[in-house]
Amino acid sequence: MIRIPTPELKRRHVVSGLAAVATATALPGLAALAQARLIATPRQTLGPFYPVEWSGDIDNDLVVVKGEAAQAMGQVTYVMGRVLDLSGAPIAGARIEIWQCDANGRYRHPSDRNGQRDAAFQGRGHTLTGSDGRYSFRTIRPVPYPGRTPHIHFAIVAPSRPQLVTQMYVAGEPGNARDGLLQSISDPRQRDAVIVKLEPAERLEPKALAGTFDIVMG
Q: Which of 97, 150, 160, 88 has the alpha carbon at shortest distance from 127?
A: 97
| pLDDT recorded at residue 177 | 97
Residue type, 119: A
Residue 97 and residue 155 in contact, taking contact as beta carbons nearer than 8 Å: yes
| pLDDT recorded at residue 36 | 59
Architecture of domain 7-18+45-217: Sandwich (2.60)
User: How far, in Å, CA of 120 to CA of 43, rounded?
Assistant: 30
| pLDDT recorded at residue 115 | 87
pLDDT averaged per 10 residues in sequence order, the chain, 218 residues: 39 38 36 61 96 94 91 97 97 98 96 93 98 98 96 96 97 97 97 98 97 97
Q: pTM, whole model, 2 decimals?
A: 0.84
Q: Where are the domains positioned within the chain?
A: 7-18+45-217
DSSP 8-state code for residue 193: H
User: How far, in Å, CA of 177 to CA of 27, rounded?
Assistant: 35
